[in-house]
Structure 1
Amino acid sequence: MPTAIAVTSADLVLPPTDQQTPTAALLQAPDAQPLEAALLDMNVMLERHGYVVALYPASIPAAHERRLHTIRSVLETDRLALLKLDLPPLGVAVLVRQLRQLSICDFSAGVVASAARLLSHYIYAGGLLNSVTKLDRVPVSLKSHAKSWVPGTQFGVLANPNPQLIKIGNEGNGLTGPGFSTQLLVGKGSLVSDWVTATLAPAWQVQGVQETGLPADSPRWWGTSKMIEFAAFLPDISVLYQLVASVRREQCHWCGIELIGDRCGFCSAPLPPPENRTHAVGVLNQGSP
């Protein structure tokens, strides 16, 4: 059985790209499921799949995050990876789908889990906002805060991989996009604008645009409900596979599981020797960003 991928919200499970891509399990919040039932569900999942990789945005309620750690602690298992992500919700959903794709490849659970940090660098996640007054996850200048009070002002914000903020309408001023081929996923909120599809998508030279529902947690993450969220990503499973496979595999000195990169996806232990911290290069046409 493939490594199980789990999420904390059903809207983080995007439609599969093919018939082979498995879905993700839902780890419900404490007010939606008693602890005993959650423990039973996780135990069944571990017995069936061997390992579970759970991904969740940093913006989920503290009680929900505590529930995840409680489950791992009570079961006394080292086969459950809890990956807290700073990506915006739509970016998390994209990464979840990529790990779902990789879970059926010939990668171990440790490689799948640690691949999340690698692949997140290739997701360009941002939003079009009507206000940045409550945005606290991307640096916002006092000047931008002041402009938020002007009616009709809109801002383009890139949260990952490198934070950037622009005022829409300034000629020659755009968000820095990926230097490799991507597709663009767009989650529309209540903001009415075609800037993402008519301006950003051509500027980034995306190979296709897909629309999806806006994750429920997006307004809280961005500090406004009047927004459009977007994420440019690598859609080709063969490229994802090559990207992950090109990184040297190591063994975690703490828990013994296989990993790539500089940190274990299951126990979060870093690799002590700096020389072992390898990165994938040359996989994409124009190199890694």
Structure 2
Amino acid sequence: MRPPTTTAPLRQHLWRRSSSSSSSPSSLLLLRQPVRQTTRQHRLFSSATTRRYHQLPALTPPKRPSLLPTPTSTIITLSRTPHHRTLFIQTEPTPNPDALKFIPGLPVLPENASSIEYTSGRQTTNSPLARSLFQLDGVTSVFYGPDFITVTKAPDSLWHLLKPEVFALITEYLNNGAPVVQGEILENEDTKAQEGDSEVVSMIKELLDTRIRPAIQEDGGDIEYRGFTEAGHVLLKLRGACRTCDSSTVTLKNGIESMLMHYIEEVKGVTQVLDQEEEIAQREFERFEANLAKLKGNTASP
């Protein structure tokens, strides 16, 4: 039997002793010595490796890419600030089926500014965005709220045809970073405390500003305080989506009037105020309905 090819004298000596008397206690003792030595070295190596392992910095696993598709049709990148930000424009329905609320996710008007409403293209001299929206066939009014834009269409127009064009104009204009209204913007002063206000008027203004106005703005509209009469009636003007809504009377009576009368005993009712143009349009509409009813009565079969 040939000895193993090695350069360690200890291993050669162990091989010679084990080949002569493998069952002797001395040979077994010598055979066990390298095992104990190797085990001790292994333990030392393991403890050193453990210490080195605990000194390494913690590794964080890489983030898995999202598998959800990105809605590119509703995301634009604004360059209004040095750092680019992603803008999500959402649309919400309103109680008025002819009005749609667009929420860009950023302030539309400055803080404490009064809401602005355009009911015709002639009024859009200070708003290029509203002027562009009125050029679309079917748009009848544009309303700017604190953080939303409400667009109202004609009853014979269809939203699935008009909505993509309105959405494209709003996103394109907001992408430029220019304000929606050029020039001076009036502050919201209708519910602001004034000198000479009675205690009842102060309570009405506070209630309108803290409770009623936020609820009306959720529906894409706004209210404007016009005064308090001696008979106990609060004069209000509905704006935005609530102005042309069929349920505007229900909103005034069941919503605003009930809350004001519940908290303030001096309030006896709420009256809606119309501008001169709106009064003329309403009279013409009532006259048209009367003539139509008369015509139907003459042609009706007995």
TM-score, with structure 2 as normaliser: 0.24
Structure with the higher fraction of residues in helix conformation: 2
**Larger relative contact order (CA 8 Å, sep ≥ 6):** 1
Larger Rg: 2
